[in-house]
Amino acid sequence: MKRILSISVFLLASNAIAAPFVVGEVVSGVVECGVFLDAEPKVVVPAVNGECRYDVGHIAVGNHRVEMTAIGDATWGGAESAKSVPLDFVRPGNPPVNLRLVP
CATH code, domain carrying 47: 2.60.40
Domain count, the chain: 1
pTM for the model stands at 0.72
> Cβ distance 68 to 84 under 8 Å?
yes
Mean pLDDT (whole number) for 42-53? 96
CA distances from 51 to 31, 47, 71, 80, 81 (A): 9, 5, 12, 15, 15
In tens, the pLDDT along 56-77 reads 999 999 999 999 999 998 776 7
Q: Residue 99: which pLDDT band, with cuts at 50, 70 and 90?
A: confident
Whether residue 13 is contained in a domain is answered as no
- Residue 34 is assigned to a structural domain of this protein: yes
Gyration radius from the chain CA atoms: 19
Does the residue 97 lie in any domain? no
List the one residue out of 51, 61, 62 whose CA is nearest residue 23: 51
Please list the residues that pair with 48 across neighbouring strands: 51
* Domain presence at residue 55: yes
Please tell me the predicted confidence (pLDDT) of residue 17.
52
